[in-house]
Structure 1
Amino acid sequence: MNDDIFCEKLELYKDTVFRIAYSYLKNISDAEDVCQDVFLKFYTYEKSFADNGEEKAWLIRITINKCKDMLKSSWKNTRTDLDECRLTYSMNEAQQELLETVMSIPEKYRIIIHLYYYEQYPIKDIAQITGRKISTVQTQLQRARKLIEKKLKEEEEYEQKFIHSDI
């Protein structure tokens, strides 16, 4: 792959790869490391893809695998993270609250939510990318929605209680 084509592909996919890595790892630095590894592998990959959809799916699969590898590594499990800034650069308060809620649900649901809502993949494609059955993806998407809704309602009830106790 020549450098110009790689730069185009990098611009096209960098946000997707980063967001998926961040949703898995919950750490900006680790997500950036995974992005670097993914794009290095992409740059050195010898085979061509049939279309952009296949290429993007391959990148997502590699990203997920690299994240899983990082989560299993002994280095990741023995270090201590510094407090990190949230990704608030272009989010209003409601978007930030939703992001925090999504990031608080289990990983198996987070990736489904991310691929479905942020990357706009259909359930069939999510099943293929994640290696799960379509029915499993549907169930996990439904459970994730319920978890998010429950957490947001609990937060809203807490805020209402807090606001009314101050009056």
Structure 2
Amino acid sequence: MYASMIYRIAYTRMQNVADAEDITQEVLLKYLKADKTFRDEEHRKMWLIRVTVNTIKSNVTSAWRRHTVALDDVTEPSYEASDLPVLKEKVEKLPERYRLPMFLYYYEELSVKEIAHVTKSTEGTVKSLLSRGRKMLRDELKEDDYV
């Protein structure tokens, strides 16, 4: 049920299909092993997002990752398609610190408060990242004559 959401979050950060698939599998395995009871579906979703973000951070900072070369020319699976491919492409090209908040806000429809909780930052920081991310997108779209 949440595999595509986990994958999209992982891909947004990793920019690599193989890594996103590995992280998705790892998160779902953690979910199965946790044998956790959730209050409701929203609680389950937030738990999975938090575990996904933590798994991504662990993966990025691992010694193995630092000593490997990123894969190039890997295509995305079809379920990652967006209604606005140009905008999606531009979001994926944003600097790392802006991609995750933008993705969680616009694609997963989380509130600023929920994003702050998931990313372990303040609401002010999230608002600032969203504002700067939007400005970067606007500037990019203007350069390409989309705005």
TM-score normalized with structure 2 length: 0.89
Of 73-82 and 111-120, more deviation after overlay is shown by: 73-82
Q: How many residues align?
A: 145
- Superposition deviation, residue 151 in structure 1: 1.5
SS of the counterpart of 1:156?
A: coil
Q: Which residue of 1 aligns with 2:98?
A: 109
1:55 paired with 2:11, answer no
Q: Which residue of 2 aligns with 1:9?
A: none
The partner residue of 2:125 within 121, 136, 141 is 136
Preserved CA contact (<8 Å) 1:27 1:84: no
Change (3 A) 1:82 1:139: closer
Which residues of 2 match residues 10-49 of structure 1 at below 5 A? Answer: 12-49=1-38
TM-score normalized with structure 1 length: 0.79
Which residues of 2 match residues 117-156 of structure 1 at below 5 A? Answer: 117-156=106-145
Ranges of 4+ aligned residues in structure 1 off by more than 6 Å: none
Q: Which residue of 2 aligns with 1:100?
A: 89
Preserved CA contact (<8 Å) 1:127 1:137: yes
Question: Take 1:120 and 1:43, find their aligned partners in 2: how far apart are those partners?
Answer: 25
Please, what is the CA RMSD of the aligned residues?
2.0
Give the AA of the match of 2:89: E
* Structure 2: segments with no counterpart, 5+ residues: none
Q: Which residue of 2 aligns with 1:162?
A: none
Q: Percent identity?
A: 37
Q: Which residue of 2 aligns with 1:78?
A: 67
Preserved CA contact (<8 Å) 1:88 1:96: no
Preserved CA contact (<8 Å) 2:6 2:24: yes
